[in-house]
Amino acid sequence: MVKTPYNGLKEGGLRMKVATRERYTYQDYLKLEDDKRYELIEGELIMVPAPGTEHQRNAREILVKLYLFVNETGLGEVFFAPTDVILSEECVVQPDLLFISKERLNIIEKRGVFGPPDLVVEIISPSTALFDATTKRDIYERFGIREYWLVSPEEKMVEVFTLEEGRYKIFSQARQAGKVQSHLLAEFELDLRDIFF
């Protein structure tokens, strides 16, 4: 397989486009026979390397707090990467964390989540910031994911976007200190001191 940078990103722990054919579909994705992680973005196969330890610490802290809140309130289910989210035949993503409300649990199948989750969380690094803040944000917006959290460990920042009339608007934001709140999950908030170390 020939690997070429995706959206100007360089190799070395970054998302890489796998340039072996013109367009991939979900059926092609299912036939992949290696142990690498991939996302399918508009028919392009993107290799997703394993995240670093800082990323995983932040993901763990958010996951635990989100899971406990959702479990205690009975609002739905929480999943973490790598979980395939099949948005279309040419778009399969693996958000770091995702929430599906109890009214929509029917989109959860053994192979993955078939349809847009209600909330997704992406934890970015300097090398993936552009991809997560533009490409994936646009995809999540287009497929109607109601809330999108963008978490930047380097900046110690969390931005919460909610979907209003088909467009993401900032709902809550904190940098270095303070709390962020979810619009979708009433009363759920995160203190940045509990996420970043």
Q: Which of 3-12, 97-106, 124-133 has the lowest mean pLDDT?
A: 3-12
Tens digit of each residue's pLDDT (9 = 90 or more) over 162-179: 999 999 999 999 999 999
Domain 53-194 annotated CATH 3.90.1570.10: yes
Report d(CA 133, CA 110) in Å as an integer. Answer: 29
Q: What six digits make up the tokens of 7?
A: 């959206």
What residues does 109 pair with on adjacent strands? 112
Q: Where are the domains of the chain?
A: 3-47, 53-194
Residues 158/151, Cβ–Cβ less than 8 Å: yes
How would residue 14 be classed by pLDDT, with cut points 50, 70 and 90? very low
pTM here? 0.87
Q: What is the pLDDT of residues 27-45, one digit of tens each?
A: 999 999 888 899 999 999 9
pLDDT at 71 over 70: yes
